[in-house]
Amino acid sequence: MEQPVLEVTEVFNVTVDCQYHLGRRHCAVMRSRGPVSAGA
């Protein structure tokens, strides 16, 4: 398990944040150009 936990936490935080504050639309944009691309 050499994967940085910070990456997973960041992705989770972005998903939750987008659902609560930014909205699903902004979440999709952040995920497109966010750490998800590097993590996926």
Confidence band, pLDDT 50/70/90 cuts, at residue 38: very low
Which tokens hold the place of 30?
């952040």
Yes or no: say if 39 and 4 are a contact pair by the CB < 8 Å rule: no
CA distance linking residue 33 with residue 9, whole number of Å: 16
DSSP letter (8 states) at residue 18: I
Q: What is the mean pLDDT of the chain?
A: 57
Yes or no: say if 35 and 10 are a contact pair by the CB < 8 Å rule: yes
Confidence band, pLDDT 50/70/90 cuts, at residue 40: very low
Q: What is the pTM of this model?
A: 0.20
Which tokens hold the place of 18?
């987008």
